[in-house]
Structures are given as C-alpha cells and as structure tokens.
Amino acid sequence: MQRMRRLMALAKIQLLDFFSKYKSGMGLRSKKTGNLLLYLTLILLAIPFIQMSVGAYHTFLLLGRPELAVTFMYITTVLFMSFTAIPFLFSLFFYAGDIKFLVTLPIPEEFIVFAKLSTVYLYLLVINSLVLAPTMVLGGINFGLTVGSIILVFIAWLLAPLPPLLFSAVVALGLTRLAAKSSKKNILSLFFGFALLFLLLGIQLFITGESGSQVEYWTITLGRFFPPAQWLARMVTGSVKDFLYFILLNFIMVTGLRVLAAKLYRSAVLAFNEKEVIRKGGVYYRQRSKTLQLLRRNLLIILKQPVFLMNTLLSLAVPCLLLLISIITGDLSLDTLVLPENKGRAVLLFVGVLSAPALLANLSATAITREGSAFWETKVLPVEPWDNIRSRMMTTVSINLLASLLIGSFTFRLLRIEAAFLLAGLFFVIMLTLFLATIDLLINLYRPYLKWTNPAAAIKNNLNVLFSLALRPLLAIIPSFLFISWPTLGYRNILYLTGLIFFVLYLLTRKYLKNLMIRKFDQIIV
C-alpha cells in the first residue's frame, strides 16, 4: 500500500508539472483566461476528428455493419496514438529536465516510468475521446443502450489507450540507444511526424475513395490480425466475454512493462547521457558576411531541433497534400477548372495554394522564442540589434517564399494559369509573406517566451502562435472589400491592389520595428 501511495504521489507531481508548464508556455497569468484558451483550443482541434469518426460510422452504417466502424476506428486510433506517443515519450523522459532529480529519489525505476506514462495516458485519452469515442457512442445507441452496455462502453473508453501507450513506452525506451545521436533522433522524430500526417490523410482517402465492399473487406481482414479491435467492437454491443479478453490483454501488457520497465529505463538513461567524442581537423578563419551568418544561424536552429523542423515541414507540406487528395478523391475536377468560365476559380485556388506557406508556417511568431535559454548568445554577438531582428524576419521570408515557389510551379502547370495571372499572384504572395513575417515578429517581440524546457512548448502551446493565426482570417477583409466596392476590377487588378496594400502595411510595420522595437529587443533577458 505504501508503494502504491508513492506511485500515486509521483504521478500527481508529473501531471501538475505537465499542466503548469503548458499554461506557463501559453504565457498567461490569469487562471480563468488560461482555462478558457485551453478549452477553446481543444474544441477547435476536436471538430475535424469528431467529423472523421462520425463519417466513418455512417460509412459502415450504410453497409449494414455499424460494429465494424468501432473495429476500423480503433485500429486507426491505435496507430494514431502510437505515432503521437513515441515522440512525446522521448520528449517527456529525456527533455523535461527532471530526470536528474527523479533518478536520485529512493523509488524504483518502474515508478518513474509509470508516473511519466500517466501524463501521456491522459493525452491519449483525449485523442481517444475525439477519434474513437463518437463511434463507440453511436454504435452503442444503435444496438440499444442498457446499464450494462453503458458500463462496458465507459470501461472500454478508459482502457482503449493502454495497449498503444504500453507498446509505445517499450518502443521509445528501447530505441533510445538508436535515437541518442542527434542525426538519428531527427530522423525518428520526422518519421513519426510524417507518419501521423499520412495516416490521417490516408484514412480520409480510404473512406471516401474505396468502394463499400473494399472498406468492409479490409476492415475485417485487419481486425483478424488485431483481435483487440474486434473485442472492443463486440464490447459496444454488450459482450461480457470480449470484455474479459480485453481486460486480460491490458493486465498482461501492464505486467510485462512492469517487468521490463526498470531495465529499459536504466539502459535508456545511460544511452541518452553518453557523450560522443567528435574529432575535427584544424581550425580555419575566414571573414564572411554577417547577414549570411545570421541567416545560417537561424536556419540551423530550425534544422537541428527535430520538433522545430518537423513542425515547419508539416506546415509547408499540408497545402500540397490537401490539393493532391482533393484531386484523387474527385472533389477537385481539373477538367472543369481549366474551362474558360471557371478561370476565376482556378486563379483563386492558385493564389490560395501559393499563399499557404505564409499563412500556415508562421515562423516569425517564434523567431525569438525558439532560442530559449540560449538567447544570451545573440546578445553578445558583435551585431547591431536591427540586423539581428531583420535576419530573423528574412529567415521566415526565405523559407516561406521557397516553399511557395515550389508549390506554385506544380500548381501553375496543373491549373494552366495564364502568365499575367501568375505575375499578379506572385506579387500578391511576396507582399503577403513580407507583411506576415514582420507582424509575427512584432508579436514575438512583445511576448518573448524563453524559459521553456521542452521544444514543443516553444511552438505548440505558445499564445504567440494563436495570436498570429487569429490575424490571418482578418486579412481576407482587404480583397473582399476591394471586390465588393469595385467588382469590375477583375481578379488580376485586385491581386495587384491587395499586394500593394500589404506592401504599405509591411513598410509601416518595418518602420515601427526599426524605430521603436529595438529598445524592446535590447531589454529581453533570459
């Protein structure tokens, strides 16, 4: 009993630490405001996942096999949870900054592992509530809810995250020796990030693109290879036998992890703290441009940190992937768009895809925050404050414009856009990118958050990012106003005029940065 109390106390400390870091990362002092923004963020994230779950249920309901919806969505949820939990566990175990304190406590290593897992369990339980729970509830209603079935559905909801969590814990701790080196750690983080993205997109393609018989066949086949998905589906219908099977599976997995936890954790801690000796040749000195060196430094901060790199690449890749999915599923008909009467729609689609990197990859909103406790290095460099600020802004512009050009060259040929509209679209996107990179940096200068211990806190639960994204929809007022006021201008002229307005806003914001925000930059301390 005393051992259990110690475990519960340690788990409680881990949970309180996680949520306090989340709220401090948001930069909020008001508890009410922090809770409101936390719930609002959760609601916004919940909508597409709930829609996906409900859509899958209706697909199988039309096939007359609603119980297969639970099987399909649990297989999806297990993959989704695993791809989410493995990089999360890497971060939680080895980047939280508390390992040096925990290993000195007079407690077994397995307690540390299970206390850490309690935080990830709640995280996965939220995912389970968004992705799987709607299907389970709809399935339970379809088969008739009784007191017994409600209890089984509730227990299934609580237990569903455990198998992927325990599997991910073994994988994360077991792969630590492979991931300890920075290069392989980057590759693993990128792999799991892109795997998660392709999983979500693949589910949508599978449900909408395949025939009903194919969806049913593959779900039954996958269910045979993964019996817990079948057990869970039958639990929703009230099967006590499958409930016992599911309980037994979780008990075996928890017992197995308890046996392996101490050995895996000890090996992982030793591997992660090993220092690799790198021998280099002679030292050479060569004078280089300060601007190029600052740009290189800002780029390396993104490239060498897996979380920053993954977030940037995912933000830049999403527009292209969504466009491809729309074409493959038939939601976007290219044969119709290239018709003369649909030229306006094609131009708007082209400009929208071209603008996506600037709208989604708001790198300037965390340009200062990303440095964290290493920001002092910037202050001691022999560089003027304005050059330092400008280099951060131009880093964002360079990355976003390069992505826009790559996406634009593909979309331009696909949609057969006229050269005149291409020039207007490029002018609009360049001015938009300059303005957003500048205004986002202004937001970060007003709210520099440097005392983060987890790289994810710098870019995910950062209120600057929310402020930056909230600004984007307001920008649509400018072209909408021009179109309503002067409908005869045409799309090309509206693009040029809107781009010109963004250019003026960029100059004003840049002047404000140069004249008034340099003092603010000098006052930033770690």
pLDDT on residue 189? 59
What is the full DSSP assignment across 427-474?
HHHHHHHHHHHHHHHHHHHHS-----SSHHHHHTS-HHHHHHHHHHHH
Which DSSP letter does residue 232 get?
A: H
How far is the C-alpha of 508 from the C-alpha of 519, rounded, in Å? 18
> Would you mind telling me the total number of residues written for the chain in this entry?
526
pTM of the prediction? 0.58
As a whole number, mean pLDDT of residues 453-477 equals: 75
Question: C-alpha 213: how far from its chain's center?
Answer: 33
**What per-residue confidence (pLDDT) applies to 460?**
65
Let me know: does 74 contact 229? Beta carbons within 8 Å: yes
Whether the CB-CB separation of 113 and 169 falls below 8 Å is answered with yes
Residue spans of alpha helices (H) in 304-332:
306-329
Q: How far apart are CA 8 and CA 271, in angstroms?
A: 28
Return the structure tokens found at 384. Answer: 């003027």
Distance CA 393, CA 365 (A): 10
What pLDDT, on a 0 to 100 scale, did the predictor assign at position 277? 46
Among candidate residues 505, 507, 369, 362, the one with its CA nearest the CA of residue 440: 362
User: What is the C-alpha separation between 427 and 410, in angstroms, rounded?
Assistant: 18
- Rounded to an integer, the average pLDDT of 205-227 is 71
CA 495 to CA 514: how far, in whole Å? 28
- Name the band, by pLDDT with cuts 50, 70 and 90, for residue 433: very high
The answer to whether 496 and 489 have CB atoms below 8 angstroms apart is no
Whether 441 and 389 have beta carbons less than 8 Å apart is answered as yes
Q: Which pLDDT tens digit goes with each residue over 136-193?
A: 888 888 877 777 778 888 888 888 888 888 888 888 777 665 555 544 555 565 566 6
- Confidence band (pLDDT; 50, 70, 90) for 9? low
Q: What is the pLDDT of residues 63-115, one digit of tens each?
A: 788 888 888 888 888 888 887 777 777 777 766 566 666 666 667 777 777 77
Per-residue pLDDT at 34 exceeds 60: no
The whole-number average pLDDT for the span 437-465 is 77
Mean pLDDT of 48-55: 78
Helix (H, G, I), strand (E, B) or coil at 230: helix
Output the pLDDT for position 298: 84
Contact between 219 and 70 (Cβ < 8 Å):
no
As a whole number, mean pLDDT of residues 436-462 equals: 78
**Residue 343 one-letter amino acid:** K
Q: How confident is the model at residue 435 (pLDDT cuts 50, 70, 90)?
A: very high
Cα angle for residues 172, 176, 177 (degrees, 5° grid) = 150
Residue that the structure tokens 């983060």 belong to: 452
Determine the residue type at 190: L
Helix ranges, 330-372 (H): 334-337, 343-360
Name the range with the highest mean pLDDT among 41-55, 252-266, 283-297: 252-266
| Mean pLDDT of the region 188-208 | 61
Mean of the pLDDT values across residues 484-501? 84
For 224-274, the pLDDT digits (tens) are 888 888 888 888 887 888 888 888 988 898 888 888 777 777 776 665 555
Q: Which residue has the higher pLDDT, 443 or 466?
A: 443
pLDDT at 504: 92
Instruction: Give dist(CA 95, CA 105) in Å, integer.
Output: 18
Residue 295: band (very low, low, confident or very high) from pLDDT cuts 50, 70, 90: confident
Question: For the chain, what is the mean pLDDT?
Answer: 75
Q: What is the pLDDT of residues 306-327, one digit of tens each?
A: 777 777 877 777 777 666 666 6
Residues 160 and 128 sit within 8 Å (Cβ to Cβ): yes
Output the pLDDT for position 85. Answer: 79
- Selection from 374, 361, 368 nearest residue 449 by Cα: 368
Q: What is the mean pLDDT of residues 126-140?
A: 84
In one letter, which amino acid is 219? T
Predicted pLDDT of residue 502: 92
Burial of residue 40 (CB within 10 Å: 0-12, 13-18, 19+) is exposed
Q: Torsion-angle region of residue 44: left (phi > 0), alpha (psi -120 to 50) or beta?
A: alpha
In Å, the largest CA–CA distance within the chain is 79
Q: Which residue has the tokens 């073994």?
A: 170
Predicted confidence at residue 10, as pLDDT, reads 64
Mean pLDDT of 189-217: 62
Distance CA 27, CA 15 (A): 19
